A and B are shown apart, each in its own frame.
Chain A
Amino acid sequence: MTSAPRLVAILATIALGVGVAWLASGRARTAPVNDLCVPCSVQPAPVQPALLTFFQPDKKAPADPQRPYVGFRACLQCHDSGAKGKTILPGGIELDLMDEQWVLYKEFPIWAQKDKHGQAFAVLLNERSKTIGKLMGSAAVHRDPRCLACHTGYPQSQMVTHKDGLVDADLAKDLDVNLGVSCEGCHGASGDLKVDGKVVRAGWKDPHQVAPTMPYEKTKPWRFLSPEVKRDEYGFNDVRTPAAKAKLCASCHVGDVERGRVVTHEMYAAGHPPLPGFELETFVAQMPRHWAELTSKDPKVQEHFVKHTSDPLYQEKTYKKDSLHRTRSLLAGAAAAAGEYLRLTAQLADENVKGREWPELAVFDCYACHHELKSAGWRQARKPPLGVPGRPALQDWPFVLARIALKDDVDGKLADVRKALAGQPFGAGKDVAKSAQTAAAWFDAKALELQKRPVSTQEGTMLLKQIASVGAEEPLDYDSARQLAWAFQVIAGDLNSNDADAKKATTLVAEMDKKLLLLDLRSGRKAATAVPGDKKDRETIEVDLGVVLPLISSYDPAQFQARFKEIAALLK
């Protein structure tokens, strides 16, 4: 059977079977609605009223919904290759879930075996973390909410702390905590939102299991709901739309005062590895992905999705199959990261934000202070001069790709922030907060524009040339240079050109890894850490500061420029 008639047959069967089931269950609201997800059928999930009543918006959820964290075990039911691939439908048809390609159903093993997010908690128990705790006067970093805010997906706001400011020691034994940033850490807590014991918003745990088998015209199956509805109604984070995804990652990878996620200068000084500048597509690729992007799914699936989804980015007019999707995501992600960096700056400088401190040195350009005291060094050769001598300036990495992605005058938009920071050392908090907030909003809006705009192959080629020219001409600091190198790799990968020179250029970028820049963030030192409750030591890959720091301190922009001159010549 070829795939097209087969799909039609499947869908027809499913539509019929589930339609009946749904009609039956619609009133009783107790019967399982998911007849595809085999393991879930074993443990039937109740129908979520909110899904069915989606078109009749009910009372508003609290401004900052605190949904309970359900835990990774619930996800294992389907996403741990639990769906063995084949299931027999009531009509006797055998359905191969893997062929169907909507979902991989092996998300958990990919994450558990390859993704460093799963080691985020375990590393809090290693020697370096102990040293950090000692230097910072923290009795146990693995119980310190300042650390847990990023090192586990369990929401900091739901952790109960003792008088000593630490969370309960037993929490370390809880797999939902000690497996680090697991499912709900990124996808959002999936429990029901209750007020006074009453469910006011269903969590996404059950509704998202509703298979694409519903009669679409009458209700929206989960995957066709718009990202906003999934987020606002069910608490499911938007992990698909580039700008939203970038913001989600940036909450930890850049910082977020409101969620208690700030790597402070004190932490760095105590030994926390430097946070690398954030580049969405590179970070996603290095996780690695535990999902298939729509573009790599079966063309029929793509067509089907575009036809039915409410996601504005995937409508027939907006979804250009042949455009460079990763590049588009990279460009939007760059603008979003710039916005998030400025938002962090604004939050830290704003005296009305709880838990912030100003000046927080970590938000400033590291190399504004941590540089050799040379005169006539490369820093002075930069153009335009980035600030007033002697006054710590903003980091530059968030803007390197934004300048390329946006035709607008990026530095013009930063002028007010820079002015506020130049007025006195570290700037006057109020002025910094206000100007950074304004600039952040501008970058946010630009990210939304960029993610709507398909990127053609021709544009991708131009972008590569532009990156090469910036890299060849401008002396950039370590993090900014790395942004360029990463972007080059992403776009070149997206273009996937067969041209020999283009391939050579890509090789020249890749060869910089561990010689000039650390491009592969997954590389590190293998270690074993004892986690409470475990039967054996857990293997982790620790950031090897012996590799990371010398690369930063011996970094020479001239070498990077020379390399990019070669690359620019190849692309001409």
Chain B
Amino acid sequence: MRICSWFVSATAALLLASSLRAGASEPVLPRQYVGAGSCSASGCHNANFTHGVKGSEFTAWMTRDPHGRAYEGLFGERARHIQQKMRSNRAAHEERRCLLCHVAPEYDAIKSPAYFVTDGVSCESCHGPAKQWLPIHHLDAWKSKSPAEKATFGMADTRTLPGRAQMCARCHVGAGGMDVDHDLVAAGHPRLYFEFAAFHAHMPHHWKDAEYSEVQAWGAGQLATTDATLKLLADRAKAGPWPEFALQDCASCHHNLDGRADRTSKRKPGAFAIGPLGAALDLVPHLTPGQSDLHDALLNLRQSLDRNAPRQQIFAHADVASRLLIPGMLPKTLDEAAIARALRGYTLGDGATYRSLMLASLHDRIGGVERDDALAALRLHAFDPEAIRRRLTDLKSRPKRGTP
């Protein structure tokens, strides 16, 4: 055992040394999955202590994290119902589209007999296929590698907030071919509404964070959500079906005809209000002063959406915007002062905007909003968008998180 372990370490060290020399530009190693069982040795990540304790990551995930139940969910009554409504002959657990999020985005590529889909969203679904880095990731030399270098081995960046948020957004926002579109929602799948800071805070942590603030988490979430949404929009506009209502603010159509609808919008009456993307399109320019290419791209996209342009045009604008977004926005993503400035300059007009902000307020630690209040606010007519804005813009008094 000891010899075996020594051998593994030596091999790993060699590999690591060679990769360090080669640098991150080397061809990416084959992405191979090994299964969560490979992480679950009691000496590694399954020490069976309380969650958040180093060495008990697997324990925490297995006992507390709903991600581990993602596959089970495909056997429920609701899943059966959805498949029936989607006119599918397959059970949900045999439907590729479901498995991509309920197991792993690279579900198709998984060959290992040691990998059990029944684990749901397990270690490698987020951290990346482990075959290449499993033997070496405990070494000091590995720990000093940059996220980009680690990525060549298949390990995803879950350490930086923007990296983590982008990883979550793959499923929680969706990507081409693995999205929750309006058909799926209408068939009974819960709609996707992602706000990274809130989701992150509520997920049982199996790690210890470096110090970060809620504001930074919110900024990282906005970046990741906008990035994923733009890419998904481009893909939908290209591949269809089109129009795709999941892009819209649900409440722009799904409201009672009681005459009390929000009339403050500058939209053409009766036009769709774009959903969370609308909030992002408003916010990003405030966060990226001087980035006129990006602003133009976002404006073009918004206008093409507002006038219901042909999908080819929408694809083109979304594609341009998505290429410019990360380079333009990343530098400000963790800059609290810049976010605070951006939020102050940010006008709340469109319905979509405040709903997205409202989700941020779901996080009970932001601005002292009680959970029940925040949930009450989810009932679409019953909240005051300005109050949410005040809570969010009053950022200075936020407690820091991450250090116990």
Taking Cβ atoms with an 8 Å cutoff, the residues of A that contact B are 135-136, 264-271, 274, 361, 366, 369-373, 375, 388-391, 424-426, 545-546, 549-550, 552-554
A267 to B271, CA, bound (A): 11
Question: Mind listing 5 A-B residue pairs with CB under 8 Å?
Answer: A136-B269, A267-B269, A375-B188, A389-B186, A550-B258
Q: Is the CB of B269 within 8 A of A135?
A: yes
Q: What residue of chain A has the Cβ atom nearest to residue B86's Cβ?
A: A389
A450 to B341, CA, bound (A): 70
Q: Is the CB of A361 within 8 A of B270?
A: yes
Which residues of the other chain, B, contact A372 by a CB distance below 8 angstroms?
A: 254, 256
Distance in Å from the Cβ of B343 to the closest Cβ of chain A?
28
Segment of B222-230, B240-248, B320-328, B367-375 in the binding face: B240-248
Q: Is the CB of A366 within 8 A of B263?
A: no
Q: Is the CB of A366 within 8 A of B257?
A: yes
Instruction: Give per-residue flags for B251-287: 1 if the beta carbon is below 8 A from chain A beta carbons, else 0.
Output: 0011111110101000011110000000000000000
Selected from A267, A271, A361, A553, the residue in CB contact (under 8 A) with B258 is A553
Known: A271-B269, A552-B257. 6 other contacts (CB 8 A): A270-B269, A372-B256, A375-B188, A389-B186, A390-B187, A549-B258
Which residues of the other chain, B, contact A552 by a CB distance below 8 angstroms?
A: 257-258
Interface of chain B residues 178 through 207 with chain A (CB within 8 A): 181-188
- Confirm or deny: B85 has a beta carbon within 8 angstroms of a beta carbon on chain A: yes
Q: Is the CB of A370 within 8 A of B256?
A: yes
Q: Is the CB of A370 within 8 A of B253?
A: yes
Which residues of the other chain, B, contact A545 by a CB distance below 8 angstroms?
A: 259
Which residues of the other chain, B, contact A546 by a CB distance below 8 angstroms?
A: 259
- Confirm or deny: B250 has a beta carbon within 8 angstroms of a beta carbon on chain A: yes
A267 to B270, CA, bound (A): 8
Q: Is the CB of B186 within 8 A of A390?
A: yes
From known contacts A266-B268, A266-B269, infer whether A549 and B257 are also in contact, taking CB-CB under 8 Å: yes
Q: What residue of chain A has the Cβ atom nearest to residue B82's Cβ?
A: A389
Selected from A366, A391, A425, A549, the residue in CB contact (under 8 A) with B259 is A549
From known contacts A135-B263, A549-B259, infer whether A425 and B244 are also in contact, taking CB-CB under 8 Å: yes
Taking Cβ atoms with an 8 Å cutoff, the residues of B that contact A are 85-87, 181-188, 240-245, 250, 253-259, 261, 263, 268-271
From known contacts A268-B270, A425-B243, infer whether A553 and B250 are also in contact, taking CB-CB under 8 Å: no
The 7 closest A-B pairs by CB, nearest first: A269-B270, A390-B186, A389-B186, A369-B253, A269-B269, A270-B269, A553-B258
Which residues of the other chain, B, contact A424 by a CB distance below 8 angstroms?
A: 240-242
Distance in Å from the Cβ of A514 to the closest Cβ of chain B?
16
A390 to B188, CA, bound (A): 10
Q: Is the CB of A390 within 8 A of B185?
A: yes
Q: Is the CB of B270 within 8 A of A266?
A: yes
Q: Is the CB of B258 within 8 A of A389?
A: no
Selected from B87, B243, B270, the residue in CB contact (under 8 A) with A265 is B270
A274 to B256, CA, bound (A): 13
Which residues of the other chain, A, contact B244 by a CB distance below 8 angstroms?
A: 425
Distance in Å from the Cβ of A255 to the closest Cβ of chain B?
15
Q: Is the CB of A373 within 8 A of B250?
A: yes
A459 to B317, CA, bound (A): 62
Q: Is the CB of B242 within 8 A of A425?
A: yes
Which residues of the other chain, A, contact B87 by a CB distance below 8 angstroms?
A: 388
Q: Is the CB of B185 within 8 A of A370?
A: no
Q: Is the CB of B254 within 8 A of A369?
A: yes
Selected from A373, A425, A554, the residue in CB contact (under 8 A) with B182 is A425
Q: Is the CB of A425 within 8 A of B270?
A: no
A426 to B244, CA, bound (A): 10
Selected from A270, A369, A373, A390, the residue in CB contact (under 8 A) with B183 is A390
Distance in Å from the Cβ of B125 to the closest Cβ of chain A?
27
Distance in Å from the Cβ of A362 to the closest Cβ of chain B?
8
A271 to B261, CA, bound (A): 10
Q: What residue of chain B has the Cβ atom nearest to residue A366's Cβ?
A: B257
Distance in Å from the Cβ of A408 to the closest Cβ of chain B?
27
